[in-house]
Amino acid sequence: MTSTVEAFYAIDFDRCLSDTDKLDKIFYTLADEEYPQLDAAELLRARNEVEDTGRTFDQIGALQKVFNESELADFLDVFINRAIKEDVLSPSARDFIKALESHNLQYGLVTFGGIRWQQVKIKASGVDSIPTLITDHTGKGEIIAKWQQADGTFLIPSDLTTKELYVKTVVLLDDKAIAFSGLPQAARGYWVQSTTKPLLPSQDGTVPGNVRIARGLEQVLDFESL
């Protein structure tokens, strides 16, 4: 059944819905304390070196250099079970999701990175029930532009909905300026920035005029009157 609604909220995962620093602490503490075959400090250095340039670090590939597939699966299961016991979402993330649901608003995760590692982190954060689109393209605005139809509405891809869904606008939430590249004028966005930490080099940049800076998801709630 086809339906048209007002908006779809496309939410980034890393450093937007999730608290990446908390996930990192669990991951690298686990690697350092319980898996001596892993050089946790070197893993972190290599990742930072790659991500500072705006690229995505192949975390699974790095682990596969040390573990066979069975060992890797076991390690990832331990990580998931360790993280799921803690709240690794960003401040106000649960309130934001609850507000969207209470207003019957459509939403999903649109996240950049390697498929398997993103799936692991999303499961470890306890939000794997949220429809998710994982992309290897940094310009999410350009992806959203491809959803736009001749009449100006947006057709949400099947990864993000269980029905044929058209919306009047897409609201993109992301922590990286580059994510908003190519965002259509009929869409809008929130550049979600930390309330306590400076921008990382990979987050900085310029955004189009239909994107508003929000200090955390709490401010998005205020701006959207949710």
Residue 169 sits in a domain of what CATH number?
3.40.50.1000
pLDDT for 152: 97
**25 and 128 together in one domain:** no
Chain centre to alpha carbon of residue 93: 12
Average pLDDT (176-192) is 98
- What's the mean per-residue pLDDT of the chain? 95
Average pLDDT (208-218) is 97
* pLDDT at 1 > cutoff 60: no
What's phi and psi for 100, nearest 5 deg? -60, -45
Least confident of 46-55, 100-109, 127-136, 170-179: 46-55
Give percent of the chain above pLDDT 90.
Answer: 88
* pLDDT at 192 > cutoff 90: yes
- pTM of the predicted model, to two decimals? 0.94
pLDDT (tens digit per residue) in 8-50: 999 999 999 999 999 999 999 999 999 999 998 899 898 888 8
Instruction: Look at the chain and report how many structural domains it folds into.
Output: 2
Least confident of 33-42, 78-87, 209-218: 33-42
Domain closes at, from 83, 107, 132: 83
**124 and 112 together in one domain:** yes
Q: Which domain holds residue 76?
A: 20-83
**65 and 94 together in one domain:** no
**31 and 109 together in one domain:** no
**43 and 53 together in one domain:** yes
Domain closes at, from 37, 65, 83: 83
Average pLDDT (219-226) is 97
**173 and 219 together in one domain:** yes
**213 and 122 together in one domain:** yes
* pLDDT at 132 > cutoff 90: yes
**14 and 32 together in one domain:** no
Whether residue 159 contacts residue 133, with contact meaning beta carbons closer than 8 Å, is answered with yes
Residue 151 binned pLDDT confidence (cut-offs 50, 70, 90)? very high
Nearest to 72 by CA among 63, 59, 84, 62: 63
User: Which ranges of the chain would DSSP assign to H, the alpha helix?
Assistant: 20-34, 40-51, 59-64, 69-83, 93-102, 115-124, 140-147, 216-223
**123 and 42 together in one domain:** no
Residue 57 binned pLDDT confidence (cut-offs 50, 70, 90)? confident
pLDDT for 219: 98
**118 and 163 together in one domain:** yes
Give percent of the chain above pLDDT 70.
Answer: 99
**3-class DSSP state for residue 116?**
helix
Domain closes at, from 46, 64, 83: 83
**108 and 172 together in one domain:** yes
**26 and 14 together in one domain:** no
